Chains A and B, each alone.
Chain A
Amino acid sequence: MDWVNGIVQGVLVGGLFALFATGLSLIFGVMRIVNIAHGDMIIACAYLAFTIIQLSGLHPLVSLLIVIPIASLVGYLLQTAILNRTLGKDILPPLLVTFGLSIIVQNGLLEVYSADSRRLAAGPIETGSFPLARGIDIGYLPLLTFLTAVVVVAGLQFVFYRTEIGRSFRAVSDDPETSQLMGLDNRKVYGLAMALCLAVVAIAGVFLATRSNFDPFMGPSRLIFGFEAVIIGGLGNLWGTLVGGVILGVAQAIGAQIDPGWQLLAGHIAFLVILAIRPEGLFPRGAR
């Protein structure tokens, strides 16, 4: 039963990984760049929520009502003021600039918040759970995280494939020259994509921070989890990213069952195995 329980918990954790991953996938999908600072943005949002909660006493989930708009606005400004200048035929500039941004964010957080690890207190849902079967308890917070990931993926899917802005995202991604002939200002479209990404990042940050401790240097490993989930699921496929997150979560859970020290390693091994067998991921775009 331990095993089954471990796997069930792994599935739920996978929701969190999917939240790390969808923003990354979105940005790669629209502008073909990998945002190295993605994980640090998640942590920065956790700290933003921390400050807002300190000032207002709001519940972490309620604080999202403030964190999301601020994060989105910052995302839009970051994209239009800085990242747009790095886009071009060469893939190196955006990597270097977001790498630099990653370091700046980490050290900025260290300066403002110190290296102490923090946590957002979510009250009763944090520890509450209900029994699913004998030996399997489902925590309210992990379940809520997973359901949120499903809703986020479904929402992004809707935006991408059913709305005008989603059409613009896809058009700019397909052909950034011809898209301008449709009246699209690519720089603004990229800005909106980053704003949307940061909305998801804010959600990811707050859920992460209610589930575990966080400190200024946790970003890069969240980037890795997100990146692995994206690659496992197949680039450009949002539901695939959710499955990728779940596979990663389950692999880590299985690893942890064997030996607690194996948790992270098992996740990376699962990633490498899938990368070796199916380099394009399990559900690449086009096989939609």
Chain B
Amino acid sequence: MSDVLLEIRDLDAFYGDAQALFLLSLALKRGEMLALIGANGAGKSTLLKSIAGLVANKRGEIKFQGRSIVRRHAFEIVAEGIALVPEGRKLFTSLSVEENLRLGGKVRRSGNWSLDAIYELFPVLKDKRNVPATLLSGGQQQMVAIGRALMSNPELLLIDELSLGLAPLVIKDIYDLLPKIVQNGLSAILVEQDVTRALRVASRFMCILEGRVSLEGKPADFSRDQVTAAYFGT
């Protein structure tokens, strides 16, 4: 088996008539963490949603573990081993913390993640297990959203806006836990507003500008100015 986990070729994605992604290509290796950066409206969420199957209107090829998933439904893709932590967490309001986590494990893929493992990673959640998930603080909600995604024991974790709306200390806590989250060779694509932080943790990055790849490579290979130019298109 090749060590390419996810391969995207010439992907176009649409919302109605509006095209949001243009001929986008990307290859992600097993165990790799890719930072996906770009200005507001660049198409980062659209890319993650396209991979996860939530954007149905698309052209091109997406292969995961060698199999095409571009025409598959979102509920099938999660069973293949791709989990999305959606922008804005999107916790289920009428479910408790534990119910949200259990639902994440509904696809029953085998692996190391279980309720106990999630509670070990995020101990505060254990005390709040029976609380409605949306009554938690922003940081705790993000932990539930991450835990819920991990419960499916994915091979690829897609995280949209890890730090959005969180206090700096909380952001630091979550980033400190990131190595534990992606342990055991889990691959990840991380969308992040905080470019500096994202480039620090990622082994590779990709910058999107108005639906097209504007820069791609290892963070160390580019200067701050080059990244800024690719980010804003100046």
Contact = CB atoms under 8 A, between A and B. Distances in A.
B44 to A, nearest CB: 17
The main secondary structure of chain A at its interface with chain B is: helix
Contacts, number: 63
Interface in A146-187: 164, 167-168, 170-171, 173-175, 177-186
B102 interface: yes
Contact of A175 (B75, B92, B148, B152): B92
Contact of B83 (A171, A175, A180, A181): A181
B52 A183 contact: no
B84 interface: yes
A138 B94 CA distance: 40
B86 A183 contact: no
Nearest to B132: A286
Interface string B67-102: 000000111001100011010001011110001001
Contacts of B99: 167, 170
Interface string B42-73: 00000000001110000000000000000001
A170 B106 contact: no
A175 B106 contact: no
B84 A181 contact: yes
A26 to B, nearest CB: 14
B104 A175 contact: no
Contacts of A186: 75
A175 B95 CA distance: 11
Given A167-B99, A167-B102, A170-B95, A182 B107 contact: yes
Interface size class of B (residues with CB under 8 A): 20 to 34
B136 to A, nearest CB: 15
A40 B143 CA distance: 47
Contacts of B83: 181
B94 A183 contact: no
B92 A170 contact: yes
A84 to B, nearest CB: 14
Interface string A106-147: 000000000000000000000000000000000000000000
A177 B54 CA distance: 7
Contact of B93 (A164, A174, A179, A185): A174
Interface string B103-145: 1101100000000000000000000000000000000000000
B87 to A, nearest CB: 11
Given A170-B94, A174-B95, A185-B73, A180 B54 contact: yes
Contact of B54 (A173, A181, A182): A181
Contact of B86 (A167, A168, A181): A181
A65 B97 CA distance: 38
Contact of B106 (A174, A177, A182): A182
Contacts of A181: 52, 54, 74-75, 78, 83-84, 86, 149
Nearest to A170: B94
Most chain B beta-carbon neighbours within 10 Å: one of A175, A181, A183: A181
Contacts of B103: 167-168, 171, 182
A167 B103 CA distance: 7
12 contacts: A164-B106, A170-B92, A170-B95, A174-B92, A174-B94, A178-B92, A179-B92, A182-B75, A182-B103, A183-B78, A183-B152, A184-B75
Closest 9 CB pairs of A and B: A183-B107, A180-B74, A178-B90, A174-B92, A170-B94, A180-B75, A183-B78, A171-B92, A182-B103
